[in-house]
Structure 1
């Protein structure tokens, strides 16, 4: 029906208006597709085709208490004054109604699906645009690489305050531009060298899948100067395929830092998208993560890079060594 309406409106050079409650993530509804399209435009990943999107949503941390609802609901309902606050409050406080439904219906919040690792409430409160990475800052790097379909991400995590910033994210374009696309390896390589030239890198963990040769080159160039080294065969390679236990424990450590609000970020929409795409994967060792399905277009590679950077920082604090900063001066006897 949506495609038909769009086609008819286009024929008549007309506009149409779509109104809905907050969608349920994972249903692949028209509302969800519209939100995804809007966010792609904001990220610069899709052409601005001219549609307007407006959504008044309650703050992710809004509690479902009578005091909060009486303040927030009149602001969210806008001019829909026929929505009585006290009647809606009775529904919200009804224990037979799931809180996630109340948040979608009455607070217009996009609530994560049941198997999501994080929801907007956990991630958005970590946004801190006042923090900015500065040249010379001590950082650890995380890297997760793809070849064609999967994304490739290089991410920095500042040692002093665990502020996360994407240094590079390469993703397959939508539509015809994505045909025969491959990750521009030279651009990725340049981004890694630029990171080492700009910041004081204390550790660098990179998933070796599909990138073994480049990672060996980076390790040969920079491995000796790192304060903490990966547990693999070289100073940088951290193979996520070899140890389910190690990956699971690393993910749980990152989850705890996020839920305890120890990490901050700059509000990058691409990083947010990847984090919110992650799904809970339980195994014998605990909680790991993954995509919706193996072939899902909803990527999580930036989250994987964040996990590797966080693990490098964990190891740095646990067993890192002091590295004397090079001054370029020599002494002769």
Structure 2
């Protein structure tokens, strides 16, 4: 919990907010749909923390203590419905969600926001109805206060027209000046696309604009997969900086519950795995009716033959673990970063790997210093999200920029080899061969499964041993994290399965061309060293009588 509980309790509107929710709200979609909303002790405690205000006598007396809250809990804990209940209180014409002074006992007095604007963001349009907005819709249409609201599938308004909640699933650039009073981001571990990360940043920037509303943000999620660069990862890592004292932010509240990994833990052991599920659930969830039946069901999923156990551990134990098919360890990749290291001296020998597409996805040029194994990006060009969708502007990788980047590399360093994957770029590669010759420019087809698998194994091995280091380029790191294993129906000489890399799914916007370019660059280095190209250049001498 960040910040940790204080020795002395802060004043809070939490009790009043909880009373309104339990008196006027109902449960959303699910087994309890339409029944009066009941808060378990942990959710009540969270609301108390979220609605803490500065005490009497403070220069900011009555103002919210926290402007941003993050909640990270395992799957199946009704955290999305909790966010909907908070949105219900924030939208309600009688919601006691802002402080209007203190009573005779020094307790804050809550009043509603006069004209609330509540964006509720899901990661896709299809999810808006299934996540928090969908739960809020049930609360206002099936609860006792149906006469207070004018609901719609994409917006819910007060009947008096003063205030609304809206469902969003795309970049809110057009809403940059929105007068937000409260906003919610749901399942932020899925906010990995650049447009969603940018949208989150844009909307956070709305919070300080109209301080009279005392606005704030709430993020709810299951924990993230490391290396995907999600909003959930950014929030969690930011909270860790605050907890360690490396950042002095005082406006963040963050709560994360997981089953702490234990030395030599064996989740195949019945007692161990059940204890882990209980720990990830917490005492309040453990008091739910037939909780042990839920534990049985969760454990049975772990034991199913087709279960991705890394995914299971992430969603049910709320642990930050690498995706089961993730090709490269993003933690190890981060350890190999050398952002302070300067690029090789002009004239040093380097190699380059090239992979990409012309009209979709991304294109990458990755360089490797022949003598040290240090890698850096000469350029990664990514298709903007939605550019090639129906009605989009269309995108084509700028060939002149790719060509210019490689020309600059040749002009700066001694480029001894370029390994380029030919599809879609045959004409450009032919042009490069004409300019620099076949000995330096080589076609390296990545659609040869066995050759690709051995190349990738060498690339991964270089990461493991530390032979490879890199500049810390964020886009390159994201591509490394996006690469997924595709196992082949063949084994190596030791009987181990071989694999190549692919995107997480067909047509996924999460590009991995940088990872492929990096592998080709490393393969070029290996072959160049075998050919003796890393030997010192011979000195020429002129003898005179």
Verify same fold: TM over 0.5.
Answer: yes
1:53-74 CA-partner distances (Å, limit 9, x unpaired): 652439xxxxxxxxxxxxx9x7
Tell me, in whole angstroms, the C-alpha distance in 1 between the residues paired with 2:335 and 2:482: 17
Matching of residues 151-190 of structure 1 within 5 Å: 151-176=362-387, 179-190=393-404
The corresponding residue for 2:89 is none
Q: Does 1:297 align with 2:477?
A: no
The corresponding residue for 1:143 is 354
1:109-141 CA-partner distances (Å, limit 9, x unpaired): 4x3211111243122111111212133232110
Q: Does 1:253 align with 2:458?
A: yes
Return 1-10 or 301-310, whichever deviates more.
Answer: 1-10
Q: Does 1:51 align with 2:263?
A: no
Tell me, in whole angstroms, the C-alpha distance in 2 between the residues paired with 1:237 and 1:195: 18
Runs of at least 5 residues in structure 2 that lack an aligned partner in the other structure: 1-119, 122-127, 129-153, 155-164, 206-230, 277-308, 492-497
* Structure 2 residue corresponding to 1:306, chosen from 518, 523, 532: 518
* Structure 2 residue corresponding to 1:117, chosen from 327, 333, 345: 327
- Aligned CA distance change for structure 1 residues 40 and 306 (closer, same or farther; 3 Å): farther
Q: Does 1:207 align with 2:421?
A: yes
The corresponding residue for 1:130 is 340
CA RMSD in angstroms comes to 4.3
Q: Does 1:317 align with 2:529?
A: yes
Runs of at least 5 residues in structure 1 that lack an aligned partner in the other structure: 21-29, 59-71, 227-234
The corresponding residue for 2:96 is none
Higher strand proportion (structure 1 or 2): 2
The answer as to whether partners of 1:225 and 1:323 remain within 8 angstroms in 2 is no
Return 189-198 or 93-102, whichever deviates more.
Answer: 93-102
- Aligned CA distance change for structure 1 residues 182 and 324 (closer, same or farther; 3 Å): same
The CA deviation at 1:322 is: 7.2
By relative contact order (CA 8 Å, sep 6+), the higher-ranking structure is 1
SS of the residue 1:173 aligns to: coil
SS of the residue 1:133 aligns to: coil
- Aligned CA distance change for structure 1 residues 81 and 252 (closer, same or farther; 3 Å): closer
The corresponding residue for 2:53 is none
Given the two structures, how large is their TM-score scaled by the length of structure 1? Answer: 0.72
Tell me, in whole angstroms, the C-alpha distance in 1 between the residues paired with 2:530 and 2:402: 29
Higher Cα radius of gyration = 2
The CA deviation at 1:220 is: 2.4
The answer as to whether partners of 1:57 and 1:108 remain within 8 angstroms in 2 is no
Tell me, in whole angstroms, the C-alpha distance in 2 between the residues paired with 1:90 and 1:322: 45
SS of the residue 1:221 aligns to: helix
- Aligned CA distance change for structure 1 residues 176 and 106 (closer, same or farther; 3 Å): same
The CA deviation at 1:187 is: 1.5
SS of the residue 2:515 aligns to: helix
- Aligned CA distance change for structure 1 residues 39 and 265 (closer, same or farther; 3 Å): farther
Tell me, in whole angstroms, the C-alpha distance in 2 between the residues paired with 1:91 and 1:326: 57
Tell me, in whole angstroms, the C-alpha distance in 2 between the residues paired with 1:303 and 1:31: 25
The CA deviation at 1:37 is: 4.2
1:176-231 CA-partner distances (Å, limit 9, x unpaired): 586321111122111111111111112110001111121122122223664xxxxx
The corresponding residue for 2:443 is 237
The answer as to whether partners of 2:352 and 2:366 remain within 8 angstroms in 1 is yes
Given the two structures, how large is their TM-score scaled by the length of structure 2? Answer: 0.46
SS of the residue 1:49 aligns to: helix
The answer as to whether partners of 1:139 and 1:199 remain within 8 angstroms in 2 is yes
| Corresponding residue pairs, total | 293
The CA deviation at 1:246 is: 0.8
Tell me, in whole angstroms, the C-alpha distance in 1 between the residues paired with 2:473 and 2:410: 22
SS of the residue 2:235 aligns to: coil
Tell me, in whole angstroms, the C-alpha distance in 1 between the residues paired with 2:521 and 2:462: 12
